[in-house]
């Protein structure tokens, strides 16, 4: 598979790169970022995936996430995919920031005209991992996943459905029940159709109710987040997990909002959480 290098820069002894490839899943070029920490030649390193939120690309966390220093110290490869397919031929709603470009919701769309390109679940869980394995010193037997907001929803639903692939999972301010949240329910209907039973595969609360489990989930949530009560609703995850016996560690952070000021503050906590679970 051909990988185009857009840029590389040395950081904390490692390399922060941005790359592009032609995706068979989305049928578009896809751009992503990878940080490779300093390591001995021939070493294989654990991989942490970071899934970004609505309107974001790989660049948001790369520029503001403040992960490189500790990732270098802990020996973690960090992968930052894009949030959706992009391009003039990709169907979109340009005036709707909650749908289309920048808002793939990490689902495989089944409805026309979106099914052709919006296959972010398969892209993140199958195609891009193959690219990472082929081009970077990655130990794919040691993978963790995290994300923010829409990406937190993606990270935790992917972990719940793939507990044999991922050894650790966490999220910053995830959309815990997108089937009811105002900023995600319309997107699920457009991508997956009006039959709400099809949405269950992409809703962490419903996945837990349906029997999906992961050893433990870490969630950080700012108490001053303007989306807390209408879009994120972490209490729904806590309630579902308690009923099912699913372990969830929820940290409510006083005074913190939904921004990268919040994420960068607690990024080290999440990196250490993952590193401890991704040891050889």
Looking from the CA of 171 toward its CB, the CA atoms found within 13 Å total 29
Query: Would you call 258 a catalytic residue per the annotation?
Result: yes
Are the CB atoms for 266 and 221 separated by under 8 Å? Answer: no
R_g of the chain, CA atoms, integer Å: 17
Task: State the Cα–Cα distance between residues 151 and 179, nearest whole angstrom.
Answer: 15
Active site (annotated) includes residue 39: no
- Phi, psi dihedrals of residue 111, rounded to the nearest 5°: -105, 140
User: Is 21 known to be catalytic?
Assistant: no
Catalytic position from the list 149, 168, 170, 184: 149
Structure tokens at 248: 């969830």
Which of 58, 258, 270, 274 is flagged as catalytic? 258
Select which of 220, 225, 270, 274 is catalytic: 225
Catalytic residues: 149, 225, 258
């Amino acid at each position: 598979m051909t990988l185009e290098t857009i840029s590389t820069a040395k950081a904390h002894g490692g390399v922060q790169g941005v790359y592009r490839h032609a995706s068979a899943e989305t049928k578009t070029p896809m751009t992503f970022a990878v940080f490779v920490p300093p390591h001995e030649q021939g070493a294989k390193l654990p991989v942490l995936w970071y899934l970004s939120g609505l309107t974001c690309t790989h660049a948001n966390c790369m520029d503001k996430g403040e992960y490189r220093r500790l990732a270098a110290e802990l020996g973690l490869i960090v992968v930052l995919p894009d949030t959706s397919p992009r391009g003039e031929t990709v169907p979109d709603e340009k005036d709707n920031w909650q749908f289309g470009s920048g808002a793939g919701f990490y689902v495989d769309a089944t409805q026309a005209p979106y099914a052709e390109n919006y296959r972010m679940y398969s892209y993140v869980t199958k195609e891009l991992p193959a690219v990472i394995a082929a081009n970077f010193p990655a130990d794919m037997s040691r993978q963790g996943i995290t994300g923010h907001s829409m990406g937190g929803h993606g990270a935790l639903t992917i972990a719940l459905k793939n507990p044999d692939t991922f050894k650790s999972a966490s999220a910053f301010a995830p959309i815990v029940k997108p089937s009811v949240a105002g900023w995600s329910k319309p997107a699920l209907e457009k991508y997956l159709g009006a039959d709400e039973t099809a949405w269950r595969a992409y809703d962490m609360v419903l996945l837990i109710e349906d029997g999906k489990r992961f050893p433990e989930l870490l969630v950080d949530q700012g108490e001053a987040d303007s989306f807390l009560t209408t879009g994120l609703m972490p209490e729904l995850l806590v309630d579902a997990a308690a009923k099912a016996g699913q372990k969830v560690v929820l940290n409510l952070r006083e005074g913190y909002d939904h921004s990268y000021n919040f994420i960068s503050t607690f990024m080290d906590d999440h990196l250490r959480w993952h590193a401890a679970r991704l040891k050889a």
